[in-house]
A and B are shown apart, each in its own frame.
Chain A
């Protein structure tokens, strides 16, 4: 779920907003609260490139994404092969729109596990609603350096069974409160996905991971890189942006 959150951050780009007050958190809950405060902010608009790569080849897609708060996101693909395809996420719904078929698809149940546009990110990874602390029990396992930066290593244990990733580990930058690395595990302890953020920039006072690599480790040589080319935060967005009308426009 944590990785899920992190990936959502990259996708919607909204997320890593940082109240960048340096300093040491008093306990692990504070660290996670700072992480969430850093990634959830009012509004954002981002232009990104997603590159899917595995042993069979590679494919690049470009997209524009909008987000408002934790629950509302709209992605529109702008690359030629997928132009006009959109994904709408609200607190309780995920809808897809295929412009050539003029078709609105509502995703539920097992369909949420489908890969988004053939990437290592599933639609399930985009679902939100609860905070990390609502979903997981967290434990501070120590400090480690990631890419030369001091991080807290925090483990997440799901409080309930119906979460995408029952166990996760995150390495959270001690200054930026951004997850520089994350691992997601199945209930049986098998590692499912890995995420690294190898470029973090400050935008409008917020620390945002501008380049992330997500790997489905069960798929050989498979990775998805999401790179933010341009991002605006705190911009005004129309009230009806996250609706079926905008999705099918």
Chain B
């Protein structure tokens, strides 16, 4: 499958070759992590490394190609682990119609972010309202929640500007012929509020996913999204509604530095579940950030998953991180992990 992905990526990038005449810039990211995971009766030690090569074309104003290759290798208590991924392999093409209207098209494996939200985003009908599975400590090494979501999809997309701050975007997700999905969104501003409405149809379960999202400011930054899942099984759409909401406040103390408070909530009618995501960050220096965040599922079985971390950038491209996470599921075994990481980007 990986071989096919690389082949497709190569074809995509090569297909525009004669026209592109582009230069290439590269970015290499190397991560090294050491992890200690403790569960009752067992302590695991793991060390692994991750290398990422990101190639991007430049030089052609209207065609862009990007190929991202990622390899992860390591050992978990003596067992070798290896994973090769192609997170991105995309070509984007922009054309000018008339004097200045510039629709553009994207093909390949890429990311689209619909809706509003950092970790919880009910409007993200493409990637899901929440990342699948628990957040790994190494994925939390960023000083803020901005990079917690990085899912990509095989897709075809068209972007059509309607003005400086509004556009229509159409997409077809093409990973699997049995799971084709298609839809669109329109984004603009209504009375100063960034507003988005969209829809996605999924062939796999014949479901329709309309959504609305909004972002504004009233004393603090707020945002939210709501989506319905409509199927032909007679279930009322509201019983499959998903809502997300968030608020962000940032401050800057003259002596103590910058800080931010973020809270997000996600509610699923179908699962009758509510999840909360609070996050506090503090940056005593321009190059040092500490954060505390966590997920809280205050359902019938309460589960709390806190994380504490520090990210330090002592030199250009170099970031050292130390993140501790824990999980306290009600009625199940507790667990904790500490990850020390180093990242160099060049």
* Chain A residues near B (Cβ < 8 Å): 52, 54-61, 79-81, 83-84, 90, 93, 98, 100-103, 106, 108-111, 113-115, 118-120, 122, 186, 190, 192, 218-219, 222, 224, 238-240, 242-245, 248-249
Q: Are A57 and B313 in contact (CB under 8 A)?
A: yes
Partner of B219 from the list A80, A109, A114, A245 (CB cut-off 8 Å) is A109
Q: Which of B14-22, B35-43, B244-252, B271-279 contacts A (4 or more CB under 8 A)?
A: B244-252
- Asked if B204 CB lies within 8 Å of chain A CBs, one says no
Partner of B167 from the list A59, A115, A244 (CB cut-off 8 Å) is A244
Write the B182-202 contact mask toward A (1 if CB under 8 angstroms, else 0). Answer: 000000000000100000000
The 10 closest A-B pairs by CB, nearest first: A57-B314, A108-B217, A109-B217, A118-B286, A218-B254, A243-B164, A81-B345, A245-B161, A102-B111, A56-B287
Partner of A238 from the list B100, B161, B285 (CB cut-off 8 Å) is B100
Partner of B317 from the list A81, A103, A244 (CB cut-off 8 Å) is A81
A87: min CB distance to chain B, Å: 15
- With both beta carbons as reference points, the residue of chain A lying nearest to B223 in the complex is identified as A106
User: Complex Cα distance A244/B286, Å?
Assistant: 28
Write the B159-183 contact mask toward A (1 if CB under 8 angstroms, else 0). Answer: 1010111110000000000000000
Known: A59-B316, A113-B252, A243-B164. A102 touches B286 (CB 8 A): no
Known: A58-B315, A98-B146. A240 touches B25 (CB 8 A): no
Q: Are B102 and A109 in contact (CB under 8 A)?
A: no
User: Complex Cα distance A164/B219, Å?
Assistant: 17
- With both beta carbons as reference points, the residue of chain B lying nearest to A242 in the complex is identified as B164
B173: min CB distance to chain A, Å: 14
Known: A58-B315, A110-B250, A249-B104. A83 touches B56 (CB 8 A): yes
B304: min CB distance to chain A, Å: 26
User: Complex Cα distance A24/B221, Å?
Assistant: 47
A63: min CB distance to chain B, Å: 14
User: Complex Cα distance A126/B8, Å?
Assistant: 42
For window 276-301 of B, CB contacts with A under 8 Å fall at 283, 285-288
User: Complex Cα distance A243/B346, Å?
Assistant: 29
- Asked if B130 CB lies within 8 Å of chain A CBs, one says no
* Chain B residues near A (Cβ < 8 Å): 25, 27-28, 56, 64, 92, 94, 99-100, 102, 104, 110-113, 146-147, 149-150, 159, 161, 163-167, 194, 215-217, 219-221, 248-252, 254-255, 257-258, 260, 283, 285-288, 312-317, 345-346
**Chain B positions within 8 Å of A108 at CB level:** 216-217, 221
**Chain A positions within 8 Å of B312 at CB level:** 56-57
Known: A59-B313, A103-B113, A249-B94. A52 touches B217 (CB 8 A): no
Known: A56-B287, A80-B317, A102-B113. A219 touches B56 (CB 8 A): no
B122: min CB distance to chain A, Å: 16
A-B contact list, 5 entries, CB within 8 Å: A103-B146, A110-B221, A119-B286, A219-B285, A242-B164
Q: Are B286 and A115 in contact (CB under 8 A)?
A: yes
Q: Are A101 and B113 in contact (CB under 8 A)?
A: yes
Q: Are A115 and B258 in contact (CB under 8 A)?
A: yes
Q: Are A83 and B314 in contact (CB under 8 A)?
A: no
Q: Are A60 and B146 in contact (CB under 8 A)?
A: no
Q: Are B147 and A101 in contact (CB under 8 A)?
A: yes
User: Complex Cα distance A249/B96, Å?
Assistant: 13
User: Complex Cα distance A171/B146, Å?
Assistant: 40
Q: Are B285 and A54 in contact (CB under 8 A)?
A: yes
- With both beta carbons as reference points, the residue of chain B lying nearest to A117 in the complex is identified as B286
Q: Are B25 and A59 in contact (CB under 8 A)?
A: no
Known: A56-B285, A101-B146. A244 touches B220 (CB 8 A): no
**Chain A positions within 8 Å of B102 at CB level:** 240, 245
Q: Are A114 and B287 in contact (CB under 8 A)?
A: no
Q: Are A245 and B159 in contact (CB under 8 A)?
A: yes
User: Complex Cα distance A215/B174, Å?
Assistant: 50
